[in-house]
Amino acid sequence: MTQRFLPYGRQALDEQDIEAVAEVLRGDWLTTGPTVDAFETAFAAACGAGHAIACSNGTTALHLALAALDVGPGDVCIVPAVTFMATANAARYCGADVVFADVDPETGLMTPETLDVALQVARLRGPVKAVLPVHLAGQCEDVAAMASLAHAAGAVLVEDACHAVGTRHEGEPVGACRHAVSACFSFHPVKTIAAGEGGAITTNDADMAERLRRLRSHGIERDPDRMQRQEGEPWWHEMVELGWNYRLSDIQAALALSQLKRLDHFAARRQELAGLYDTAFEAMAPRVQPLARTPDCEPCLHLYPVRIDFDAAGKDRTEVMEALRAQGIGSQVHYIPVPDQPYYLDLYGRQELPGAQRYYARTLSLPLFVGMEDGDPLRVADALKAALGG
């Protein structure tokens, strides 16, 4: 009997999702229209934020968030070394420099301590405009403490919450922006809710929301009250700054809105599966351990990374991934430290970030998606045990 292949992540679509998209296709609007508005309203409410601005993907969300802060050449942004490269690239799109912060080797997260060190390095390079904590796998560190450090350095916090849709921190949903000026989300199919491609920024600052909407559509001002020319000509519009076409379509928004209705279910199911994994791995410590958990955080886990002592097992990660694949189990590494990518090595040279190196040396993400069955975590744990030599 061949067993069902388990990828490390995948979307969970149902007939309602398909019907929601079909309804938009039968209507008048394909690109940004009423369904984007409806999604923005629902997403802001789900996050407990004043405003949500939908855009084409998580990368453009990050770029817009930094552009709306006027991040530019000469400025510095602080990004944890362990993240998807888009977090750092967003700063580069603005012409700013990136200083990489080290991470806690047990969680992969930037901490107030590693941020403090990065701020000292950054001060020598230029004014720090933004600090971007990344909620890796869906977990949060102490955002309030990181915001205090950022503010003391004259910077603000922009959360990369692409992994953390549905996570609650200190009793509030991620995206509520109590300590950050904005939070950025992705609706790529492997993320917790899917739009195909899609992203959003949440903020409580009305002016910033206005500016983000303008920047996502070429910098065009549509509000007649805000225009320089007040002749009342019906065709008139003004491009007041340089923006982009980073819009989300109504087709994508329909899918995201339909998925958002099941977010509580998705979060509960991900927690349930993570609990089954945690139990299965109890007997395998310390050779295999789940990610260390952070306090005050109820994560909606986007990934299920484990820490593996490959040296103790006498196996390397390639062998283990291949053995899992032979059993129909996908796995992935999140992430190769971004400063080790050739582009960043050319730019900044090799950096000593021992926490990131230690995290990277041991991490492996195992399948975690809503459509997994109750028996799957044990199947994966058993296969991993066998792959590590029993």
Ligand X SMILES: *Cc1c(COP(=O)(O)O)cnc(C)c1O
List residues near ligand X by CB under 6 A.
57-59, 83-84, 86-87, 134, 160, 162-163, 186, 188, 199
Q: Measure CA 211 to chain center.
A: 22
Q: How far apart are CA 388 and CA 390, in angstroms?
A: 6
| Active-site residue, from 129, 191, 261, 385 | 191
- Name the residue nearer to ligand X (CB basis): 83 or 203: 83
Q: Which of 69, 95, 84 is nearest to 156 (CA)?
A: 69
Consecutive H or E run containing 288: strand 288-290
DSSP strands (E only) in 113-261: 128-131, 156-160, 168-169, 172-173, 182-186, 199-203, 220-221, 238-239
Q: How far is CA 260 from CA 18, 47, 55, 298, 340, in A?
A: 14, 11, 16, 18, 35
Annotation says 129 is catalytic: no
- Name the residue nearer to ligand X (CB basis): 55 or 176: 55
Shortest distance, position 188 Cβ to ligand X, whole Å: 4
Shortest distance, position 60 Cβ to ligand X, whole Å: 7
Shortest distance, position 335 Cβ to ligand X, whole Å: 8
Q: For residue 332, with 0-12 CB atoms within 10 Å meaning exposed, 13-18 middle and 19 or more buried, which class applies?
A: middle
- Name the residue nearer to ligand X (CB basis): 183 or 387: 183
Cα dihedral sign, 187-380-265-294: negative
- Name the residue nearer to ligand X (CB basis): 334 or 379: 334
- Name the residue nearer to ligand X (CB basis): 136 or 288: 136
Shortest distance, position 165 Cβ to ligand X, whole Å: 11
Cβ-count burial 309-328 (b if 16+ within 10 Å, e if not): ebeebebebeebbebbeebb
Dihedrals phi, psi of 293, to nearest 5 degrees: -95, 145
Shortest distance, position 216 Cβ to ligand X, whole Å: 14
Instruction: Report which DSSP code applies to 338.
Output: G
CB-based closest residue to ligand X: 58
Q: Which residues are catalytic?
A: 191
